[in-house]
Structure 1
Amino acid sequence: MRSSALLSVLQTAVFAFLILTGPSLQCASPRGSGRRHRPGNRTPLVYKQHVPNVSENTLGASGLAEGRITRDDPKFKKLVTNDNPDIIFRDEEGDGSDRIMTQRCKDKLKILAISVMNTWQGVKLRVTEAWDDDGHHAKDSLHYEGRAVDITTSDKDRAKYGVLAKLAVEAGFDWVYFESRGHIHCSVKSDSSAAIKIGGCFPPMATVYTEHGGTMNMAGLQLGDKVLSLKANGKLGYSEVVSFLDRDENRAGMYYTITTSDVRTITLTDKHLIYTSATNSSSIESYVANYAQTVQIGQFVLINDNDSEVRSSQVTHVTSQTVKGVYAPLTHDGTIVVNGVVTSCYGVINSERIAHLSCSPLRWMHSLSKYIPFISRDTEQNGVHWYAEFLYSVGRIFLSPDLLYIV
């Protein structure tokens, strides 16, 4: 691609992010159903509340404990020391234990520390407990793995702790708990979990409906194929595959498998967006695009009734498994029907509207590639698309933590 064409694409993407992340953003369902929390309207967590509203050691939160790590354990070498000058460490043991944690935990604390300083002038984040091997916690405590921290503010003002917990949620901790009057407990998924290393994808054997009436495995899908998708008018129709945001037949990932009462089963990664509703509503407007990891039994998803209509179906089971191969096709409409379930094409960004409009340059490039030879169609793409990587980098700058999943 010529440099002028590439520059135009990048400028358009940045412009889209700046426009869409402004204070006037309002979203409708299902397109643009992400929710943005404005700093001035934060709702603090209340005592004993935890986010998400599931147990800490579940797939929808920080996941299962993987085993206690002691100082003489080989896994201890994989833990890191946090020397962030913007964080105060209690270190009552005197051996630096409160600074030891996983890389993911360290990354989330860095984001949170900045948020704390921006929220309260002269106040810093304070860590009272991180990795520990003293045996004072519950048997499967994530403190023993360096995946959990207990935090306060440096001024120890307990009136701030509800907001502090909310800031921790926005910073990307996988589970936040207003555990006691004296601290907030936060934890993260394991660094070794494949679920945090990929974005929004489907496995290779997932099936799509093609324009010519047959089904096709995700691994066989190509640019230019037209697949069943949800149109802006709420009807089903066929939409062209314009790109792959990710495609790698050799990379393994952890997937969530959602089964419905109509025996529809869809498998997708934790940060892929799927439309859900708390009620058995026939109105498309009641369905919101949320991360797959938040789907709960009893909620409703959209399935195809025929080639043009959709209807609701209740979730009966949610399980997880590791599968080899990741595929993230992008259609012109930004939606796709996979295994008979309607989903978004997007992941990682928790706002379908921002994701869809930010990917407009990819749709334009695909259209132009049919007429302008020097614009590549990425037919041999393997791995994360360069434009998706670029959007993620821009998003880290312009999007708040509650909108962008930060790996």
Structure 2
Amino acid sequence: MIFLKFILIIGMLVTITDAQCSIAGDPKEVVKCVQHITLVLYGALAKDLKIICQVAADVSDCLSTEISDCVEAEIGIAALNEAKRLAENCCPVANSTSCPILSGSHFAMNSCFAADSLLTLVNGKQKQIIELQSGDTILAYDDKTNNLIPTNVLTMLDYQPKQYAVFKQLTTVSGRQLSLTLSHLLPTDIHGYVMAKNIRVGMNIYVMNDDGLLVTETISNVIDVVKQGYIAPLTQQGTLIVNNVAASCYATINNHHLAHVVLAPMRWWYGLFGETKVSDKTIGIHWFPNMLYEMTTFLMPSILQN
């Protein structure tokens, strides 16, 4: 039934493309809109939120401008309304009850923070994570003393400013929010370092208050959201303060201290030979943690994403 519906929709879109539309603008824009809507409907068929959310904003624009003038048949209007419903209900909140797509399906298991996150420099100013440079000195979390300490940014473990991902968005009772990917580690007061996908309402995490002190706060809400861009900085300390929340630099391996030991050679390398500027780095996952992940998947898969 779903496949038949998809075939009918594609047929309708082809008809719209070939139709004479009373639009004063560039016909190429109409074709682009048809392509956007086709992608959304294909994303629904493939149960792929990434496809839908990449063009969600474009679909909304099209339905209010060019494409609306080209739809004459009721089936065309119905199909376009379905595309609009998918775009509005599945993005950015992926676990909406109105979204028919399974949350997180077909998304890569990235290990990063959302690109709109802010880090705190030692001088108290904040800097967007996407603008962070190797050599910047930022605030980090000392899990031995539960205090704030300075640390240097060494490099990026993963740098994908344009790609989409599903994040766990955590909100505390004071309104602080942090969006991080499902397998990223976060320190808690009782349970130690916990992957974001296992964080629950009522757990306590460490946050920096308005006086610049590290205190515990209770999680009041946890939802899944889809955002564009994800970044994973590596610091000398192995931790950092993101959106005034203490977090680990590590993910995938369900043990912060083990990950810190495993990545020691990488920290030593950058400590000896200096940091690499973000602008000089290739988009994607750093080759060293990527190699470690492949080796761990083969040799010790039980420690990954438990």
Answer yes or no: is the 8 Å Cα contact 1:208–1:215 preserved in 2.
yes
1:363 offset after TM fit, Å? 0.7
Distance 1:230 1:293 in 2: 21
Aligned match of 2:119: 208
Which among 271, 293, 303 is matched to residue 392 of structure 1? 293
- After superposing on structure 2, the runs of 4+ consecutive aligned residues of structure 1 that deviate more than 3 Å are 72-75, 189-193, 305-309, 375-379
**3-state SS of 1:347 partner:** coil
Q: Does 2:158 correspond to 1:257?
A: no
Distance 1:233 1:332 in 2: 17
Aligned to 2:155: 243
Q: Partner amino acid for 2:106?
A: S
1:405 and 2:301 matched: no
Q: Determine the structure 2 residue equivalent to 1:110.
A: none
1-structure distance, mates of 2:103, 2:246: 30
Corresponding pairs, count: 211
What is the alpha-carbon distance in structure 2 between the residues aligned to residue 312 and residue 297 of structure 1?
Answer: 14
Q: What residue ranges of structure 1 are gaps of 5+ in the alignment? A: 1-67, 76-101, 103-188, 278-285
1:355 is matched with which residue: 259, 270, 295?
Answer: 259
Secondary structure in structure 2 of the residue aligned to 1:397: helix
1:323: how far off?
0.8
Q: Is the 8 A contact 1:236 1:307 kept in 2?
A: no
Please tell me the residue identity of whatever aligns with 1:262: S
Equivalents in 1 of 2:230, 2:296: separation in Å? 22
Aligned to 1:193: 106
1:365 CA displacement: 1.1
Query: Contact 1:244–1:327 (CA<8 Å) still a contact in 2?
Result: yes
* 2:131 maps to which of 197, 220, 240: 220
Question: Equivalents in 2 of 1:389, 1:358: separation in Å?
Answer: 12
Percent identity (aligned): 26
How far the C-alpha of 1:242 sits from its partner, in A, is 1.0
CA shift for structure 1 position 192? 4.0
Other structure's SS at 2:130 match = helix
Partners in 2 of 1:306 and 1:360 — Cα distance?
A: 33
How far apart in 2 are the matches of 1:222 and 1:269? 21
Superposed, 1:309-388 pairs within 5 Å as 309-370=213-274, 379-388=280-289
Q: Which amino acid aligns with 2:115?
A: P
Q: Deviations over 1:29-81 (max 9, x none)?
A: xxxxxxxxxxxxxxxxxxxxxxxxxxxxxxxxxxxxxxx867x6879xxxxxx
Deviation at 1:190, TM superposition (A): 7.3
- CA, structure 1 residues 364+191, in 2 after alignment: closer, same or farther (shift >3 Å)? same
Task: Say if 2:134 and 2:276, in contact at 8 Å, map to a contact too.
Answer: no
Q: How does 1:17-166 map to 2 (within 5 A)?
A: none
Shift of the 73–275 alpha-carbon distance from structure 1 to 2, 3 Å rule, reads farther
- What SS is found at the alignment partner of 1:224? coil
Cα distance in 2 for residues equivalent to 1:306 and 1:362: 34
CA distance in 2, matches of 1:259, 1:237: 24
Inter-partner Cα distance in structure 2 for 1:308 and 1:207: 15
In structure 1, the residue matched to 2:146 is 234
Unmatched 5+ residue regions in structure 2? 8-45, 47-101
Q: TM-score w.r.t. structure 2 length?
A: 0.63
Where 1:346 maps in the other structure, the secondary structure is coil
1:302 counterpart residue number: 206
Contact kept, 8 Å, 2:166 with 2:226, in 1: the verdict is: yes
Name the one with the larger helix percent. 2
Mapped contact 2:161–2:230 kept (Cα < 8 A):
yes
RMSD: 2.7
Query: Does the CA contact (< 8 Å) of 2:161 and 2:228 recur in 1?
Result: yes
Q: Which amino acid aligns with 1:251?
A: Q
How far has the Cα of 1:400 moved from its partner? 3.8
Deviation at 1:369, TM superposition (A): 1.3
Shift of 1:200: 1.5
